[in-house]
Amino acid sequence: MSIFRGSGVALVTPMKEDGQINYDVFDRLIESQIEGGTDALIVCGTSGEAPTLDDEEHLDAISFAVKQTKGRIPVIAGTGSNNTEHAVMMSKEAEERGADGLLLVTPYYNKATQDGLYYHYRRIASSTKLPCILYNVPSRTGTNLLPETVARLAADQENIAAVKEASGNISQVAKLARLVNGKVDIYSGNDDQIVPICSLGGIGVISVLANVAPRQTHDMVMHCLEGRYEEAARMQLEALPLVDQLFIEVNPIPVKAALNMQGFNVGSPRLPLTEMTDAHKKTLREAMTAYGCL
């Protein structure tokens, strides 16, 4: 059974001026996303600056999202790590705190073999009853989770439920869809490939764009799932200039700047990420205005 169908937002973690999590703003973001039609919250992932959250902060943020969401939409917790046993511990804790699913990024820096990835994910998934979404993002991790490995995991581990595919390689996504043959859900991990991936059998997106344009992102996916690909393609192409600006600097620098422009006061990223340059803020603001989300 799918964890969700539609648009899952890769939610940012708002920070105060002193760098601590701003839970008042976090609550506002959650309510805004639910009101905007978002189908799932993904917390403490890349956009949520998981690498700079300590374990206590990370787990408290998951607990808060679960509590504030009140079961209205699924909460998916980012608990991946390049330390397998640390990922196991975080995944167990997320389950205890009420998360509905897990997002597990491929191990970064270690550069595991495909066998290593198989046993890493098998170990984590077997430690929890929660459905697991494997997150393939080679540009950030240096490791590419191949379709054959996903198919092997899907055959051997029942709660491997989905893949967030952010390789950017449509041919790889097509091969993945053929090999898993519906046993694993596929979500686009790139906002500029929502419609192409849905056309290959994907059922949604885990989206940065949805932070600032939740309704449009949800509607784009729904058009796909209901067979209205011409309208979905139009929306995809209209979104491209804004998507480009949301990745003109490394995520989540631009999306935090964008949310600040919208009045959410999510603060600055934690070091080693920095504030967006003034020149890029100008082009981001122009793209947001043109798209109608500012």
Among residues 98, 64, 99, which one has the least CA distance to residue 78? 99
The reported pLDDT for the residue numbered 96 is 98
Whether 258 is covered by a domain: the verdict is: no
Amino acid identity, position 4? F
Query: 104 pLDDT band (50/70/90 cuts)?
Result: very high
Long-range contacts from 226-230, C-beta under 8 angstroms, 24+ separation: 229/195, 229/199
Whether 292 is covered by a domain: the verdict is: no
The reported pLDDT for the residue numbered 125 is 98
In this structure, what are the phi and psi dihedrals at residue 186, rounded to the nearest 5 degrees? -120, 125
Task: Give Cα 36 distance to the centre of its chain.
Answer: 17
Amino acid identity, position 125? A
Among residues 122, 62, 132, which one has the least CA distance to residue 93? 62
* Model pLDDT for residues 54-67, shown as the tens digit of each residue: 999 999 999 999 99
> Which one is catalytic: 108, 109, 111, 164?
164
* Model pLDDT for residues 170-210, shown as the tens digit of each residue: 999 999 999 999 999 999 999 999 999 999 999 999 999 99
User: Which CATH number goes with the domain that contains 14?
Assistant: 3.20.20.70
The reported pLDDT for the residue numbered 247 is 98
Res 1 pLDDT > 80:
no
Angle at 28 between CA 46 and CA 216, to 5 degrees: 70
The reported pLDDT for the residue numbered 178 is 98
Whether 272 is covered by a domain: the verdict is: no
Residue span of the structural domain in which 124 resides:
6-226
Average pLDDT score over residue span 106-130: 97
Q: Is residue 164 flagged as an active site residue?
A: yes
Q: At what angle do helices 170-180 and 147-156 cross, to 10 degrees?
A: 30
> Which one is catalytic: 121, 135, 187, 291?
135
Whether 116 is covered by a domain: the verdict is: yes
Q: Is residue 118 flagged as an active site residue?
A: no
Whether 164 is covered by a domain: the verdict is: yes
Query: 12 pLDDT band (50/70/90 cuts)?
Result: very high
Whether 255 is covered by a domain: the verdict is: no
* Model pLDDT for residues 222-279, shown as the tens digit of each residue: 999 999 999 999 999 999 999 999 999 999 999 999 999 999 999 999 999 999 999 9
The reported pLDDT for the residue numbered 26 is 98
**Rounded to an integer, what distance in angstroms lies between the CA atom of residue 77 and that of residue 3?**
12
Structural domains counted in the chain: 1
